[in-house]
């Protein structure tokens, strides 16, 4: 299931997206926003695969909004202004829907998102990532990763029965992995929030390993974890 949100200052434009999306079984639009800043806050704490985004909005330009996102989902622009097309593709936008667009055109854009997310291993229970281990590409099942530890220009994936050292930085991992259960808690550590056993003020317990929370991360991390816990089903 693709998890998405839509941002447009025009309510009627959001109604069009809602109408087109209702019959697409693999697409779930979790929220619709006319206020761009409320959407930015939502994106900080929720795992989103796909963003439908208007460009010409009164509070903030959609291009600037996307540039400033820390975790960037796949992007489909929805706009009435064709002159922004070049800027959209410079941001690696997956597609550019020029208003008014048909349901068939909307479906085509969604299908592109589905195919790309499946290729990346993001959809379904088999969420995975391919990393370089020496001269080989190794498939890592993200559902099994307890945490990641930085080691120079490498990161170590800690898993139930093994460790994998990959030539990858934490920044590169977070940019390539839109799954927000992975949270950076320290300049050297990223955790899988599914495996948290205990949360303290300065550390988090993951599978009997007490991992430090960096001072600069404390406020944001504790707020984010609190929201994850509160939004989890009982």
Q: What is the pLDDT of residues 17-56, one digit of tens each?
A: 999 999 898 899 999 999 999 999 999 878 788 999 999 8
Asked if 79 and 157 sit in the same domain, the reply is no
* 120, 147, 181 - which closes a domain: 120
- The count of structural domains within the chain is 2
Mean pLDDT over all residues of the chain?
Answer: 86
List of residues 6+ apart from 202 with CB closer than 8 A: 212, 213, 218
Query: Token match 């209702």: residue?
Result: 22
Lowest mean pLDDT: which of 25-39, 82-96, 183-197, 208-222?
Answer: 82-96
- Judged by average pLDDT, the poorest of 94-108, 114-128, 140-154, 179-193 is 114-128
Is 114 found in the same domain as 24?
yes
**Last residue of one domain, picked from the residues 81, 104, 120:** 120
What distances in angstroms separate CA 10 from CA 37, 80, 109, 192, 214, one per listed residue?
Answer: 15, 11, 21, 37, 41
More confident: 201 or 169? 169
Write out pLDDT tens, residues 84-131: 666 656 678 899 999 999 999 999 999 999 888 876 666 655 677 788
| 165 and 82 within one domain | no
CATH classification at residue 149:
2.40.50.1020
Over range 74-79, report the average pLDDT.
Answer: 93
The tokens describing 120, both together, are 């990346």
List the domain range (segments joined by +) for residue 107: 2-120
pLDDT of residue 172: 85
More confident of the two residues 50 and 79:
50
CATH code of the domain containing 116:
3.40.50.2300
- Looking at the fold, whether 134 and 112 belong to one and the same domain comes out as no
CB 109 within 8 A of CB 95: yes
Same structural domain for residues 157 and 201? yes
Q: What is the pTM of this model?
A: 0.58
Residues 230 and 221: beta-carbon distance below 8 Å: no
To the nearest 10°, report the CA torsion of 21, 17, 121, 197.
-100
| Domain boundary pick from 103, 120, 137 | 120
Q: What pLDDT, on the 0 to 100 scale, is given for residue 136?
A: 81
The confidence score (pLDDT) of residue 233 equals: 39
Sorting pLDDT into bands at 50, 70 and 90, what band is 227?
low
Same domain for 152 and 78 = no
């Amino acid at each position: 299931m693709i998890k998405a949100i839509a941002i447009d200052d025009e309510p009627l434009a959001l109604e069009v997206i809602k109408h087109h999306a209702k019959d697409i079984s693999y697409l779930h639009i979790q929220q619709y926003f006319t206020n761009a800043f409320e959407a930015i806050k939502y994106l900080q704490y929720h795992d989103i695969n796909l963003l439908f985004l208007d460009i010409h909005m009164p509070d903030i330009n959609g291009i600037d909004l996307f540039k400033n996102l820390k975790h960037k989902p796949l992007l489909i622009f929805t706009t009435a202004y064709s002159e922004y097309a070049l800027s959209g593709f410079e941001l690696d936008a997956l597609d550019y829907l020029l208003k008014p667009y048909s349901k068939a055109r909307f479906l085509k854009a969604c299908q592109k998102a589905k195919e790309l997310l499946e290729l990346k291993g993001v959809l379904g229970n088999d969420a995975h990532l391919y990393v370089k281990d020496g001269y080989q590409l190794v498939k890592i099942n993200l559902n099994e990763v307890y945490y990641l530890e930085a080691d120079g220009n490498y990161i170590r994936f800690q898993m139930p029965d093994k460790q994998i050292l990959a030539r990858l930085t934490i920044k590169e991992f977070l940019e390539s992995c839109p799954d927000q259960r992975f949270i950076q808690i320290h300049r050297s550590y990223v955790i899988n929030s599914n495996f948290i056993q205990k949360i303290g003020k300065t550390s988090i317990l993951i599978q009997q390993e007490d991992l430090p929370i960096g001072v600069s991360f404390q406020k944001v991390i504790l707020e984010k974890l609190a929201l994850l816990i509160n939004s989890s089903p009982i």
